[in-house]
Every structure is written in structure tokens, then in C-alpha cells.
Amino acid sequence: MAKNDAVDIKRINELAKKKKEEGLTESEAKEQSKLRKAYLDSFRDNFKKQIENTRVIDPEGNDVTPEKVKKILDSKDKKDNN
């Protein structure tokens, strides 16, 4: 993760702690929601990229990557070549 993500996580945690201890103001609740959404969007995007770049090889050396992932990889390769 980038340095900004670490700062966002720190702030998310600060707001979560404050929410438990004393509650949040309306603006803090909005900030928390915005930060959580940005963090989750980034996490999902990074996870998707990781899965899309993964091949599964069995002990005999055969590619046993699930068909759904193969289709994504094939369509991604076609886009990159155009």
C-alpha cells in the first residue's frame, strides 16, 4: 500500500476508537464513511488485480486455473494488445 493508505488506515482507526469511546460528530462520521469506502475500493481493486494475474499449476505442471479467471486474463490480454 502507498504511504497515503497508511495515513488513511491510521485515521480510520482513530475515528473508530473515538466512536466507541465518545461518539463522532456528523462531519467525523462522514469522514469515516468516506475513508472506509476509499480503503475498501482500493483493497478490492488490488485484490482483483492480484487474482487476475494468478495462474494455478498442479503438481504435474498443468495449468488448472479456473475458467472464469482464464476468461478474464484472455480479455485483459486482448485489451492490452489493441
Mean pLDDT score across all residues of the chain: 87
- Rounded Cα distance between 23 and 30, Å, is 13
Q: Where are the domains of the chain?
A: 3-81
Q: Kindly list the distances between the CA atom of residue 72 and the CA atoms of 40, 69, 78, in Å, as whole numbers in the listed order.
A: 22, 5, 10
Find the range with the poorest average confidence among 4-13, 32-41, 50-59. 4-13
Q: Give the model confidence (pLDDT) of 22-36 as tens digits.
A: 999 999 999 999 999
- Cell numbers linked to 59: 503438481
* pLDDT score for 6: 65
Q: Which residues contact 55 (CB under 8 A, 6 or more apart)?
A: 63, 65
Q: What is the pLDDT of residues 62-77, one digit of tens each?
A: 999 888 888 887 887 7
Quote the pTM value.
0.67
